[in-house]
Chains A and B, each alone.
Chain A
Amino acid sequence: MSEFKSGFFIGGESTNGRVLIVDDEPDIRKVVRMTLQKAGYDVLEAENGEKAIETINTGENRLLLDVIICDIRMPKVNGIEAIAYFRQNYPRVPLIVLTGFPDTDMATSLLRQGVVDYLVKPVEGEKLKASVARAMEQRELAHL
């Protein structure tokens, strides 16, 4: 596993990092949480872009959020709008897109905007964990 792990403490427990999953489908949030928690991550959830922006602006999340995993097609503030907000206001927080729709043009555009990975559902747990680990490395590098 990565040597750049931040390993901060929450409630006395060490975690590999704090990840926010933004998806309007509770089922998706549930399985991503399950996979990442098993891998030692602290997982937060938001059901749309608006809630995600609220979450990142709340308390210690401003500083301690390590990675955001974001869907595209969501109500209220959609993924594209939310990603634009995160890139502008939290440029050091790496973003992973996890979407149901493979769209090459959108993927290219988002990767150009600095998104770490563009994953298309269904994605295997190992691949998701590898992607989050890569994002964590980027997060660590951003702190150097």
Chain B
Amino acid sequence: MTTILPIISHPRSECQGIEPAPAPPPMRVVIIGAGRGGTALLDVLHQIGTIEIVGIFDQNSSAPGLKRAQELNVPIYDRVADLLKSQGLHLVMDVTGDPSMESVLREQLPTGADLVSGQASRLLWTLVQHESTWQTELLHAEKLAGIGSFAAGIAHDMNNPLQLILGLAENLADEVDLDTVHAQARDIIDAVKRTTAICRDLTSYSRRTSLRQDCLVVVNGKLDEALKIARYAVALQDIDIRKLYQPDVVVKGNQDELLHVFVNLITNAVQAMEHRGTLTLETSAMAGTTLVRVSDTGCGIPRELQSLIFEPFFTTKPPGKGTGLGLYNIRNVIHRMNGSIGVDSHIGRGSTFTLTFHDESGAGESITPS
């Protein structure tokens, strides 16, 4: 397999097509409070390349944010004083909601550091919630826009069994042979079951993603599920599908979001091949790193566009065919899972999208089947 270029690990560090200016030193931030506010802050700040979370503190050692901090490799402190002694702090963010904490922090605030507390902290919390809701809404909107392209596939899969049902029912109206009547009645029942399965798949796929329902997702199964959904959007009949699955690979994340990611990548791959070629789905887990690769033998992405494809509203598809939000949303989902996404593409040979997840408390590993 060829080298993956470029690996995009932080939204703000992406190439914009011009010589990048030297990156400023990261803003060093500490978080006081690991409740809901602290957890949400961790999730947002962790995705921003120019911010370094120096550490987090909470009086309650079982606060949910501490577990999240552990997953993100953010140092956890037992004492505020120790945390505030960290070198070169720029910002102390108090999201405890405890009015007495502000005065404690002001007394120990290191020189050169600012404190965000009280009303400012509440405003921050509101903004973080808003950002989170906005991203979820955007993902859902893009998913629903994509479902519009399922019409041909759904019509095909619904109308074929309906044709069978209608044909058999018409025949049964004057069929006298009892064995034939029984056999055709069974065929009708099977056809109805197939039709209802389509509705079940799509209802499940189109549902709104629940916030923070992270769990261990069985990647191979999720890829297979995505293939089932993607075939509504793109014709897979002439696609040679190769599955190079390492058994029992799991990653930690939101399973609805991951399904959406896989459906999108598979759909893009098939479209790039104009419905003829080889689609390779590959999973592997080794030394704490899990890789998921989706490769096609399609037209490839010009080198000058490779740095733009993850930007919002960037699309090479004709008007009405793509929202330009697919890869942007994928990147956001993967970043929320503390992973990265990269593309390796060659004109006329095809593209490989690689998702990389590092082992952080359960993510990126292989499980033994129970």
Show the binding face of A for B, using Cβ within 8 Å.
Answer: 24-25, 27-28, 30-32, 34-35, 38, 73-76, 100-103, 120-125
Contacts and interface: CB of A to CB of B under 8 A. Distances in A.
Given A73-B152, A100-B159, A122 B165 contact: yes
Given A73-B152, A100-B155, A101-B155, A125 B160 contact: no
Contacts, number: 68
Contact of B237 (A32, A75, A122): A75
B160 A28 contact: yes
B214 interface: no
B238 A25 contact: no
Nearest to B190: A27
Nearest to B194: A27
A24 B164 CA distance: 13
A26 to B, nearest CB: 10
Interface in B100-116: none
A122 B166 contact: yes
B162 interface: yes
Contact of A124 (B155, B168, B170, B191): B170
Contacts of A30: 164, 167
Interface magnitude class on chain B: 20 to 34
Interface in B129-185: 151-152, 155-168, 170-171
Contact of B164 (A28, A73, A74, A125): A28
- Please classify the interface of chain A as helix (H, G, I), strand (E, B), loop, or mixed, using the class held by over half of its residues: loop
Contact of B163 (A28, A76, A101): A28
Interface string B187-207: 100010000000000000000
A100 B167 contact: no
A32 B167 contact: yes
A138 B151 CA distance: 33
Nearest to A26: B164
Contacts of B160: 25, 27-28, 100, 121
A27 to B, nearest CB: 4
Given A31-B164, A75-B238, A101 B170 contact: no
A74 B164 CA distance: 17
A24 B162 contact: no
Contacts of B155: 100-102
- 4 closest A-B pairs by beta carbon, nearest first, are A31-B167, A75-B237, A100-B159, A121-B159
A21 to B, nearest CB: 12
Interface string B293-315: 00000000000000000000000
6 contacts: A27-B164, A38-B171, A73-B156, A100-B155, A121-B159, A123-B166
Q: Which of A34, A76, A122 has the most CB of B within 10 A?
A: A122
Contact of A76 (B157, B159, B162, B238): B238
B216 interface: no
B235 interface: yes
B238 to A, nearest CB: 5
B237 A121 contact: no
Contacts of B162: 121-122
B174 to A, nearest CB: 9
Contact of A120 (B151, B159, B165): B159
Contacts of B164: 25, 27-28, 30-31
Contacts of A38: 171
A27 B161 contact: yes
Contacts of B168: 31
B163 A31 contact: yes
